Copies of this chain bind each other. A is one copy, B any other.
Amino acid sequence: MEELKRAVLEKGIVVSNDILKVDMFLNHRIDTKLALAMGNYIADYFRNKRPNIILTIEASGIAIAITTAIALGNIPVVFAKKAAASNQGTDRLHANVHSFTKNKDYAVSVERDYLPNGSRVLIVDDFLANGEAMRGLIKITEYANCTLCGAAVAIEKAFQSGGRELRNQGVDLLSLCKIKSIENGKIVLED
């Protein structure tokens, strides 16, 4: 997706050979116009699969999830939570996720009622690297007896294995910007 690729190349900051900082437009400060364009793009790609719920994970996925939901006719968004607050119900679907960025394991969970049996789920997230968070969301979709329409991510680090593994499993995975490599401070995108 051209607008996102341009933003990554023009504004992204290489922190190390596997960490790219894009929080000036994607996951701390959000470029609202770009988020809307990403939502439209994702919606156009998946519309024929008739998703009726967007599933994402707090916090950075929420913005694109909302704009995708708007573009699909204001369908609901459910965001998986990373920790249980004291006022949450107990009938929850859980999956464990390892964060390489934060170097720790955490549980993600969704209240069962919010993913009704038979829902058609489209997963949306900001980043895909090792695919840990995505696998957690797919497990939760399965536990809920929902149909997975597919998954969309803004940025895929294609030099890590998550995207390849998910596609090999048959997941219809859309990446709006695929990063081929980050070497010596330079970002190289796939065509």
Q: Enumerate chain A interface residues (CB-CB to B < 8 A).
A: 15, 19, 21, 23-24, 28-33, 35-36, 58-59, 62-63, 66-67, 69-70, 74-79, 81, 85-89, 101-103, 110-111, 113-114
Contacts and interface: CB of A to CB of B under 8 A. Distances in A.
A38 to B, nearest CB: 12
Copies of the polypeptide in the assembly = 2
A21 B85 CA distance: 11
> Do most interface residues of chain A lie in helix, strand or loop, or is the interface mixed?
mixed
A77 B32 contact: yes
Contacts of A111: 23, 28-29
Contact of A77 (B19, B63, B78, B79): B63
Given A28-B110, A66-B66, 12 more contacts: A19-B87, A21-B87, A23-B88, A23-B114, A28-B78, A28-B81, A28-B111, A30-B66, A62-B63, A63-B77, A66-B67, A86-B101
Contacts of A85: 101-102
